[in-house]
Chains A and B, each alone.
Chain A
Amino acid sequence: MKVIDSIARITGLVAMVVLFLMMLLTVADVLLRATINKPIIGTTEITEQMMVAVVFLGFGWCCLQGKHVKVDLFVSRYPAGTRRIIDLIIIFIGLVFVAILCWQTFMTTLTLQRLGITASYIGIPKYPFYALTALGWIVLFLAMASYFVQKIKRSDER
């Protein structure tokens, strides 16, 4: 499980760094546009692709930190045993679903690569960023799997 922890942490770290760079890029673009009237060409497209890293690489980490939003209101009042079984079933369904998401994103990646589709204007190929999306789903899958295994092992936690 430690391996999964490190993977999610590293991808989360990459997401953070890209967020920081995205901020710098936009600030630089605005400053250059305002001062010497020469914006950085393609800032919009580059920002869009950076968003893919910021968002999808953070999913797994967010899961490990238990930060994905859910409604505890009723479930927290169920008996512990019931709660555990429900949680296990729900995580299992989630695992299957995220696996499908990942598989489909990967299939789209292959199609885009074959067709050579690019993000408009400055011609960045799209498929590497689809691949990044798929990677994000893989890390989320691993993080959920790790949580699932922990939940089976330990019955006492909420």
Chain B
Amino acid sequence: MSAELVGLIGVVILVVLLLFVRMWIGLAMALVGFLGILYLQSFKQAFGVLGTVPYETVAYYPMAALPLFVLMGVIVGNTSIGEDLYYAAYKWIGQLRGGLASATVLSCAIFAAITGSSATGTVLMGKVALPQMRRYSYDDAMATGSIASAGTLGILIPPSMGFILYGILTEQSIGKLFMAGFLPGILLTILFIIAIAITTAIRPQAGPAGPKTSFVEKVVSLRKIWHVLILFLLVLGGIYGGIFTPTEAGAIGAFGAFVIAAATRQLAGKKIMGILGEAGITSAMIFFLIVGAFIFMKFLGLSKLPFAVVGLIQQLQVSEYVIFAGIIILYIILGMFLEIYSAVTFTIPIIYPIILALGFDPIWFGVIIILVIEIGLVTPPVGMNVFILSGMTGTPLESIFRGVVPFFIAMVVCVILLAIFPEIALFLPQTMK
């Protein structure tokens, strides 16, 4: 049996283990990787990998960015920062038609600039924004659709767990990936707001205007959120200016969030333990995937399967954009079954060499992958954000999925714009130090 065939069989076994017997994803990747190396090489090699790869993977400086940004996100999620952001956005644009939904999008975008996951924003807005929109008799589809979609901005606008993971697995600069996500994040925010404007222009009852607010109220609302802007500028400005590594930015971000939480008296002793615990468990969960992925990648490398796939694709003589479209569709399908961390870890070992061979920019592709995974998070059958929101609020899944449609279109437009104008993603990373 050729090495490539062994690689292919390994991938198939992995899929079976994941989907049909629900083995932990990290464990399944490690196990298949181990057995594959055992078959292709020797006992000694395979056992050696198990004895060294987990440690060597984890004890690597750039990895430390991950738990630190997780910590930062968990602290921010446990304070009233998100709520304050929403009320400020609400005061500024709430009185427009569809304004409460736009305020949700805007506050999620700013919230995304200090947190890195998509669930945090959705959970928060489900608690804060939904009651407001219901009060002003928004239809439920518009209200929940905007919340589920706006939450996904969390992984596009830096800091982002998705980019950290992609950077770790592909050995690309996490700092550059963060910067690459920034402008597309703003673009998508604007596209979301346009989607709301169009929807409410067609059906004004979907999102009636909120209450009028005075200029003084608007200015006062900013008083509670200025520290968020400072935290954001400090963390991302530091990375952009080449002053800190992403790991240092994570530590400073987490520390800054602690200081804000303590200064606004939201940090009781018990809460600190809860925060550290949540951050610890989330980090362990993600690193279990990463360790598994690295063992699996060792096996795939030995099998030369990725090279074989690349060779095959080059023989096909089709436009690289056809392959690109194929990969996007594959990710949209995957995004329906897997949450972001698993989707990225599981596919990068196979897809990434193809992308490089086709001559696409790896940083740009990172942004595309994240966008496509965002789409997966809000589309049936298993849109994670929609599930979370439905579970929280009792709104039926169908009605949220219906509400997501305009935002789904906005996301697709964003992917197309990025494919036509890669500079939107690449401008900032190219100009950073």
Binding site for B on A (CB under 8 A): 12, 15-17, 19-20, 22-27, 29-30, 44, 47-52, 54-56, 58-59, 61-62, 65, 67-75, 86-87, 89-90, 93-94, 97-98, 100-101, 104-105, 107-108, 119, 129-130, 133
Task: Report, as a range, how many residues of chain B touch the other chain.
Answer: 35 or more
Cβ-defined partner of B24 (8 Å) among A54, A70, A107: A70
B85 to chain A, nearest CB (A): 24
Give Cα A76 to B37, complex, Å. Answer: 32
- From B97-105, B197-205, B337-345, give the one contacting chain A: B337-345
How far, in Å, is A61 (CB) from chain B's closest CB? 6
Residues of A within 8 A of B60 (CB): 48, 51
How many A-B pairs with Cβ below 8 Å?
176
Is B358 among interface residues, defined by CB-CB distance under 8 A? no
B280 interface residue (CB < 8 Å to A): yes
Mask, B1-35, CB within 8 Å of A = 1, is 00000000000000000111111111100110010
A62 proximity list for chain B (CB < 8 A):
281, 284-285, 288
Q: A51-B59, A55-B283, A133-B55 are in contact. Are A27 and B252 (CB under 8 A)?
A: yes
What would 11 more interface pairs be, CB under 8 Å, given A101-B50, A105-B55? Answer: A12-B277, A15-B280, A19-B67, A19-B71, A30-B248, A47-B247, A48-B61, A51-B64, A54-B283, A59-B288, A69-B341
Q: Mark B315-340, 1 if CB is under 8 A from A, else 0.
A: 00000000000000000000001110
B244 within 8 A of A: yes
A97 to B254 CA separation, bound complex (whole angstroms): 35
Contacts of B276 in A (CB 8 A): 16-17, 19-20
B residues with CB within 8 A of A:
18-27, 30-31, 34, 47-48, 50-52, 54-55, 58-61, 63-64, 67-68, 71, 244, 247-248, 250-252, 254-255, 273, 276-277, 279-285, 287-289, 337-339, 341-342, 381-382
Contacts of B342 in A (CB 8 A): 69, 71
State A62–B27 Cα separation when bound (angstroms).
13
Please pick, from A50, A87, A100, A108, the residue contacting B52 in the complex, using a CB distance under 8 A: A108
Interface residue from A24, A59, A89, A94 paired with B284 (Cβ < 8 Å): A59
Between-chain CB contacts (< 8 Å), 14 pairs: A19-B67, A23-B255, A26-B252, A50-B64, A55-B284, A68-B25, A68-B27, A69-B289, A73-B19, A73-B337, A93-B31, A100-B50, A108-B51, A108-B52
Cα(A78)–Cα(B202), bound, Å: 44
Contact call B284/A61, Cβ cutoff below 8 A = yes
Closest Cβ of chain A: how far from B296's Cβ, in Å? 13
* Contacts known (A23-B71, A30-B252, A67-B281); A55 close to B22, Cβ less than 8 A: no
A74 touches which one: B19, B63, B273 (CB < 8 A)? B19
CB-CB under 8 A from A54, the residues of chain B are: 67, 280, 283
Complex formed: what's the CA distance from A100 to B250 in Å?
A: 34
| A25–B139 alpha-carbon span in the complex (Å) | 50
Pick the contact of A90: B21, B51, B52, B381 (CB < 8 A).
B21
Question: How many angstroms from the CA of A129 to the CA of B50 in the assembled complex?
Answer: 15
On chain A, the residues within 8 Å of B25 by CB distance are 68-71
Q: A55-B283, A58-B284, A75-B20 are in contact. Are A22 and B64 (CB under 8 A)?
A: yes
